[in-house]
Every structure is written in C-alpha cells, then in structure tokens.
Amino acid sequence: MLSVEHVRAKREGNQLLLQELPPSKRARARELALELSELLAASVGDDRDTVEARLSGLELRPSERRIALGLAKLLLDEAEFGSHSPVEPVELRRALFERAATARRAATLETPFSREAVIGEVAPAFALEPDALEEALYADLRGAERLLRAPALDPELWVTRYEQGQVQAVLLRAVKVVVDVQCAAPEAYRSLFQKLKFRKLMYHSERLSGGGYRLTIDGPYSLFEAVTKYGLELSLLLPALEACDVFELRAEVLWGAHRTPLSFVHRHVRRSRAGEPSAVRDEIATLCKDFEALGSRWHPKISEDLLDLPGSGVCVPDLRFEHPDDPQPIFFELLGFWSREAVFRRVEWAERGLGKRIVFGVSSKLRVSESVLDADTHAALYVFKGKPSARALERKLDALRAP
C-alpha cells in the first residue's frame, strides 16, 4: 500500500488535487517501473539493504521522485524476502558475546582483550570460518534478508496500481468522507454497509433527489474532534465503494507536515467487465420471472432503496413491489439461509419502525416462526421451504396492503 509521501498532489486553494500523469510522464513512469523491476530481478539473492540502496540509487529528476519511490514501494511489497543463515544468529550472538564478556573481564595489560581471538574460539563451535561468522552474526535483521523472488516485469500493471493506490494513500489522512453513491443492485450496497460495520465506521445517510445516497462517513469519536485515527479504515473502505456503480467522494484531509485541512474529491464509475456475473442474485431474478408469469398486479423492480434506522442498522431490500392501487411500495428482502441472528435483527428493526412496509423472506431451515413479527409493525416474515414462491409472497404482500 502506498503512503502519503508517494502521492503526487498539488494544492489549489483549499483543494488537494491528484496530479494526473500526462502521456509523456506516463511513458516515463512505465520506463521507471521497468527499470526498477529489472533492478529487482537482477538482485535476487542480495540482501534487503543492498536491494533498497540499489533502487534508491536510480538517477531521477526531482519531478520523478514521488512516483519512483511509490513504484519501488509497490514492487518491494510484492517481492519475496527470506532470511538465509547456516546457523541460528541468536544462538551465535549468545555464545560470542558471553565469551567476549568473560575475555574482557580476564584481560590484563599483558594479555589485552582480543576480538580476533574470541571470534577464533567461537567460530569452530558453529562450523564457521571467522568471515562467515561475521556475516551470520546479524543475518536475521530485516536489512539482511535475501531477495528470493522479484515481482513480475509488467510496467503497465505497476503504473496503474500506483495511480489507483494514490487515492487510498490520500484517505489515510482523512478525517471525514462524504460520498454520493449509486448502485443498480442491492448487493453492492449490502457489501458496502457490511464493510462500514466491520470497519467500525459510522455514517449518516440521505437520499439524493437524482437517485442514490449521500453517506457522511467517519468514526465514533469524530463527533468531538477531527482525527485521522479512522484514516486507515476509510482508506480500506475504498474497494467496497469501487464495487458500486458510481460514486463521488469528498474527503476532508489533514495534509502535509502542518496538517493543513484540505478537501479532496475523487469520482469513480465502475467499468463492467465482459463475463462478469449479474449483480442480481439468481433467486431474485427467478422470483421476478415467476411474478411476471403469475400475472399478479404487483410489479417487482430491483430496489435501489435503503431503509436506514440510525443507531440500529440499515436494511437493503432486494425488491420494490409496486401496486397500481397503492401509492406506497412494499419492499422485500430475501434473507434465505442467513443466520437466525440476522432475522431477529430485522424483527427488532421492524419493531423500532423502518418507516416502510417490508416482507422478509426467510428459509424454513432457520427455524423461525412467522408469528414473531406483530401485525402492527408494517412488516411480515415469509418463511419458505426450498425456494421462495411468487404465489405465497403475493399473499403476504396483499395481507400487508390490507387496511
């Protein structure tokens, strides 16, 4: 992972802008990536200190330093190092230093302490020549580790990783992030909120008029002070955001040695890849088809809504059912084989009031009774065997719609 000193950024007013690599600089970056990769490939077998000194010895123009350091960091992270010593260095040091301490105490003016004599005494016990002993003495230090495998010679890959890694590195200094995010499918939202919870981050959500949500994300303590303590967590949230279709992120960062407050903006549009599986779960797609075949007056749509209950959690429905005689939709979340705990969490949310009508689809394998949810909660449990049935779900929707 890149760190702050590898980022090529400039200030414009109170904005922090990443400097894009124009074609000529990008070509030079690829050259640097190739040179660094080749240096690493030629250094297999050398110790880390030597390898690092070799990489930092590259002739660079001042404007190339950050990118070269960043590329070197990415390459070194990917390289494989290991220690190499014919003897256990800790044991060697113990024997050598103990012998030396005894020799120094016994030294006199006539027979002064002799380093060579001590080494000469200890080396045979480890089956080493004196020179080999000197080499093995600190062979377990990080700087003495040997390069075992160099990373791939793929300059384009490293330059792309460098460009992507800069955003994460900037977020290390973030105190708060506001992100406008839009997902066509609920799965990406669900994954994003799971990550937020896992990273112990807090958020406030608002629905945007043009679709999607605005999430203001920081940590529990951020209410009292702008701290970079959550920077790493915010940075590690980025892959979950990148799985969403579109997002625009505005981060407040404390930048530079003086920790100057600056704003940073990053926009991202997910590029779908050929052969990528559909973002909609198979069971949901099947259920939609079954509903169409049923000729029901309920029309399912993939939901883009979030039912947020501050302090408790967020429910991400899979489907939004619309009925021509009802201005308000009813939502459906398929829990399937998730844990019983997930079901009871939703029961609790419904009791607290989710603000919308919703049916939770639960597999009978979870052994939960439909009666755990009271009728006055505007929510219902639909327990199914095998796969959810459109007909049974329709009855649940009708029952919830009934006055």
Partner 1 sequence: MITLRFEAGTLELEGVPGGFELPASCRFDKRSNSHRAPACAYAEVVTALHRAGVAYQDLARRYAELSASLVLHREPRPFQTEALAEFRRAHGRGVVVLPTGAGKSHLAVLAIQDRRRSTLVVVPTLDLVRQWYDLLRTSFGCEVGIVGGGSHELRELTVTTYDSAYLHMQHFGARFGLVVFDECHHLPSETYQLAAELCLAPFRLGLSATPERPDGRDAVLDRLIGPVVYRKDIVELSGEYLADYETVRLDVDLTPAERAEYAEQRKLYTDFLRAQGIRMSRGSGWSEFVQRAARSSAGRRAFQAYLRQRELSLAATGKLLALERLLDQHQNEQVLIFTQDNATAYAVSRRFLIPVITHQTKVKERSEILERFSRRQYGAIATSKVLNEGVDVPDASVAVVISGSGSVREHVQRLGRILRRSGDKRAILYELVSAGTSEHFTSERRREHVAYR
- Which positions touch partner 1 (CB under 8 A)? 62, 65, 90, 93-94, 96-98, 100-101, 104-105, 107, 112-113, 115, 118-119, 134, 137-138, 141-142, 200, 202-204, 219-221, 223-224, 227, 229, 257, 310-311
- Give me the least distance between CB of 226 and partner 1, in Å please: 11
How big is the chain, counted in residues?
A: 403
Of residues 189 and 332, the one with the C-beta less far from partner 1: 189
In whole angstroms, give the CA distance from residue 333 to residue 345. Answer: 13
Return the CA Rg of the chain.
31
Question: Which helix (H) or strand (E) element contains residue 184?
Answer: none
Of residues 211 and 310, the one with the C-beta less far from partner 1: 310
Of residues 149 and 200, the one with the C-beta less far from partner 1: 200
Under DSSP, the state recorded for 114 is -
Of residues 115 and 271, the one with the C-beta less far from partner 1: 115
CA distance to 70, 71, 231, 251, per residue, from 173 (Å): 17, 20, 5, 9
In whole angstroms, give the CA distance from residue 14 to residue 172. Answer: 18
Cβ distance 222 to 190 under 8 Å? no
Of residues 199 and 401, the one with the C-beta less far from partner 1: 199
- Give me the least distance between CB of 207 and partner 1, in Å please: 15
- Give me the least distance between CB of 337 and partner 1, in Å please: 30
CA distance to 118, 121, 347, per residue, from 107 (Å): 12, 16, 81
- Give me the least distance between CB of 217 and partner 1, in Å please: 9
In whole angstroms, give the CA distance from residue 22 to residue 8. Answer: 13
Of residues 94 and 267, the one with the C-beta less far from partner 1: 94
Which residues, in sequence order, are CB contacts of 382 under 8 Å at separation 6+? 359, 360, 361, 362, 370, 388, 392, 393, 396
- Give me the least distance between CB of 258 and partner 1, in Å please: 9
- Give me the least distance between CB of 335 and partner 1, in Å please: 24
- Give me the least distance between CB of 398 and partner 1, in Å please: 33
* Tokens standing for residue 58: 């590259």
In whole angstroms, give the CA distance from residue 238 to residue 199. Answer: 12
Residue where the block lists tokens 């922090």: 16
Which residues, in sequence order, are CB contacts of 18 under 8 Å at separation 6+? 7, 8, 9, 166, 167, 170, 266
Of residues 88 and 374, the one with the C-beta less far from partner 1: 88
- Give me the least distance between CB of 88 and partner 1, in Å please: 11
Which residues, in sequence order, are CB contacts of 313 under 8 Å at separation 6+? 193, 197, 345, 349
Of residues 218 and 290, the one with the C-beta less far from partner 1: 218
Phi-psi region at 299: left, alpha or beta (left = phi > 0; alpha = psi -120 to 50): beta
- Give me the least distance between CB of 263 and partner 1, in Å please: 21
- Give me the least distance between CB of 189 and partner 1, in Å please: 18
Q: Can you tell me whether residue 190 is helix, strand or coil?
A: helix
Of residues 93 and 323, the one with the C-beta less far from partner 1: 93
CA distance to 44, 71, 151, per residue, from 57 (Å): 17, 14, 19
